[in-house]
Structures are given as structure tokens and as C-alpha cells.
Amino acid sequence: MAFRRPLFLLLFCCGMAGGVSAQPTSVGTASPDTMHLSLTEAIEKALSVSPEVDQRRAQRRFASARSDQARASRFLTDLSFSAASSFAPGIDNVPAGTPDDELYLNPGVTNDWSIGALRPFGRAEVVAQQPLFTFGELSGNIEAAEHGVAVEEARVEQKALEVAARTGEIYYNLLLTQALDRLANRTGDVIDRAKKEINRLLEEGDESVDQADLFQTRLTEEEYKRRLVQIDQNMKTARSALRRQLFVPDRTTVAASSDELQPLDFSVHPDSLAYYIELGMQNRPEVDQAAAGIEAREALVDVARSDYFPKIAFQASLSQSVTLPPRPNPDNAFVGDSFMGTGTRTGLGVELDLNFGQTQARVEQAQAELNEVKHQQTAAQQLVRFEVEEAYRNLLVAKAAVESRDRATTISGEWLRTEQIDFDLGFGDTENLVKAVRASLEAEARYVEAVKQYNVAVLKLLRATGTLTDRVKRGTLVDSTATTE
């Protein structure tokens, strides 16, 4: 029976090498600069540094500034100041003894444009216009701009959900590689024990062992070494993916707070699918974005229709012209000098675009854009229903897989213990023992894979219902892998 134990160890190694290789596995040596993060902390950091979210926030700030501009246009829509400077001519042919205020009566007096007669001239004007009745143009623009802010706010939340879900999946990919790495290390230990045992039996001259067994073990060892390189590189890639997502320096290693991969503490709501669909319809930013877009487009339709009606406004202007030294300025209600004096214009103004054909076309364009957004809302609602249902059913499948893999792990462990006891008592079957060992280790690997898929399925359901980032902000996203440091 001495030969049987190394053989079973060898076959066990072969089974584990094949089972682990399908996943990237390895845990690198921790660097001095290591950042330990829980799932919640990783998502919070990703949201705070993500350029994708910041880009959407910048667009939201632009929409907010545009809304402020629209509100500011309600009062003194046109308030401007203009100033200009040049040269004014002097006057020539002035009869001696003629008072300045009577020069305009003398037809012989002329402007003198000679270089020596020119003098500095300046003119300043202030114009103010206050709309009184715009028949929906001003209020429509303000309303559309305000709803535009809501649209951009929804787009920010939409991108935040995407980043949060992606970060969570990367985080659990790292935990999965670490869990599978531990199984791979056990494989390496078994190979070493198998080599030592076979060499010992060969040295003792045991006839049940020959060089073929040693060569087979060495071939298995080479395969394991090849897998180990692959594991190491995949592990570095996994760590790099999380580091890039969190935008930490290359010299810093990002690690999970705990090496253990455990299922998230998440209970499916008793009302099941209907509850989550309703939750998605209430919280998904795509639905809010479409609703805000409809409100904005309806306001813009009113803006386009306002061109059918006259715009009434109050306007006032004040201008001042000065020449230095001053030119004679006649104080007369009917005669003035454009180079000197003060002017003002005040009153009500009415403006009406009489090209009603163009106005109708603009109204039809605005109505078409409104219909487009309404169709987008219908599509968004259907998409939310589909994504929530898909995420919900995938979660049920993942949950059943975890429970099944957990039971399989228990069963394979019981089988292995039974075979080991029988083998130690001398009446066990080597082939059954090899099968039991392989089943036990493969069950462990499949279990951690199922846990990772389950946790990702939970995150995807929370994203589909639009509640993932809210849970992170409130601290209600339970992360069973977090530990107190």
C-alpha cells in the first residue's frame, strides 16, 4: 500500500492544476505602500476620483450656469454700456461778437477739419430694456434650462452607477484570484510531498514504484510552474485594474481589507420581481432623465409658439457726447450738435415676427423633438424593466449556485473524510480516494467562483434598480469582507 499515497497525491495535483488555470490567480507580496480597502471604501474612492463622473459633473455645472443665465434674463434683458472716442472738428468762419448760442443761425459757420483744429471727442451710451409681455418666451426658456439641469443631474447619477458597479466587480475579481491562489498553493505543496514520497520509496527499493511515476510527477511540476507564471501575471493585472480604477500611484498596492471571499449579506425582498421593477422605475436616472427631458422640450415648444404673438418691452437709453475743449452747443429744442450734448430715448416697444411660416416650422421642429424624447422615455422604461428582471433572475441563479456549491463542498468533504478513513484502515480504494480529493478541491474552487458571481449579481441588481450609489452613501451596502484594521 506504500505506493498508493504518492499516486493519489500526484493525481490530485493534476486535477487541481487543470481546475485553477481557468481563473487568474495569485497573491503578490504586499509592498510597503499598501492601501487596504473594503468594498464600500473602494466604491466611494472610485466615485470621488473618477474622471468619467467628473466629466458629467462639469456638464451639470454648465447646465446650471445656463439656468442662471435664463433666470437673469427675466429682468433687464438688455442692459449695455458702450463708449467710443475719436476726434471732432473745430468751427470756422465765426463772426466776431456772435454769442455761442446763436452760431447755429449763421449759415457761414462751418466745421474745421484741419489738423490743428481737431479736438478729442467721446461718446457714451447706456441702454436698458425690460420685457413686459413675451407670451411664454422668457418663462419657457427658464423652465427648459431648469429641467436641463435635472437632465444633467440624472446623467451624473447614471455614470456614477456604472462606475460603482464596475469597481465592485473589479474588487471581487481581486478577492477571487486571492482565494483561488490559496488553492493553487496547496497544489504546489502536494506536488512537493508527492516527489519526496516517490523518491523515498525509490531509495527504499519499493517495487511498486518506478521511474515512470517520478517522471509523471516532474511533468506535473513543470505544468504547475507554467501555471504559476500565468497566475502571477494575472494577479498583477487584477491589482493593476483596481489601482487604475481608483487612480492611486503605481508605487501603491491596493488590497482588499480581507482575503476571505464571503457572500454579501443581502436578502431578496419578499415581493420579489414586482418590488424591484417598481424600485427601478422610481430610482433609475434614465427614467428621471427622460421625464426631465420631456418637461424641457414642452417648455421649448411654448417658446417656439410665442413667436406667433408680439413681444412688448420697455426700453430706455441715455447718451452723452463730449468734446474737449467744448464746442459751442446751441440750447435749442430743434437744433443739436452730434459732437456735444445729452440724449435720451424712453418708451414701450412692440416686436412681432410676421414670417408665420417660419414660426410654424420652428413649432413643428420643437414638437418633433418633444415626441422624440417621449419615445425615449418609453424605451427607457422598458429597458429598466428588462434590466431589473434580468438582474433579478441572474441573482436567483447565482444564489442557487452558491447554495448548491456550498452543499457540494460539504458533501465532497464528507466523501473525502470517509475515503481517508477507509484507506487508513486498509480496505479503501485508491481510485475512489483520488476522486474524492479532486472533487473536494474542485468544489472549493467552484464555491468561491460562485460566491464572486453572486456578489457581482447583487451589485448588478442594485445598479439596475438605481440604488447602488445611495446604499454606498448611506453605508447600507453590507460588505461581509470588510474587517476592522
- Per residue in 181-235, pLDDT (tens digit) is 888 777 777 777 777 877 887 888 877 667 877 787 788 778 777 777 777 777 7
Q: Is the pLDDT of residue 166 over 60?
A: yes
Q: Is the pLDDT of residue 347 over 80?
A: yes
**pLDDT given at position 29:** 47
Of 73-77, 235-239, 396-400, 405-409, the poorest mean pLDDT is in: 235-239
In a domain, 203, yes or no: yes
In a domain, 96, yes or no: no
Q: What is the pLDDT of residue 430?
A: 58
Determine, yes or no, domain membership for 107: no
Provide the whole-model pTM: 0.78
Average pLDDT over residues 159-185: 89
pLDDT score for 424: 73
Does residue 325 have a cis peptide bond before it, meaning omega lies within 30 degrees of 0?
Answer: yes
pLDDT surpasses 50 at 3: no
Instruction: Give the chain's end-to-end CA distance (angstroms, integer).
Output: 49
pLDDT of 2 strictly over 80:
no
Per-residue pLDDT tens digits for 419-467? 888 777 766 665 676 677 778 878 988 999 999 999 999 999 999 999 9
Q: CATH number, domain at 202?
A: 1.20.1600.10
> Does some domain include residue 373?
yes
The pLDDT tens digits for 239-252 are: 899 999 999 988 88
Whether 47 shows a pLDDT value over 60: the answer reads yes
Residue 105 domain flag: no
How many structural domains comprise the chain? Answer: 1
Note down the domain range covering 239. Answer: 4-90+113-474
Range with the poorest average pLDDT among 34-43, 267-276, 385-394, 403-412: 267-276
State pLDDT tens for residues 125-150. Answer: 999 999 999 999 999 999 999 999 99
| Residue 108 lies inside a defined structural domain of this protein | no
| Whether residue 19 has pLDDT greater than 50 | no
pLDDT number for residue 411: 92
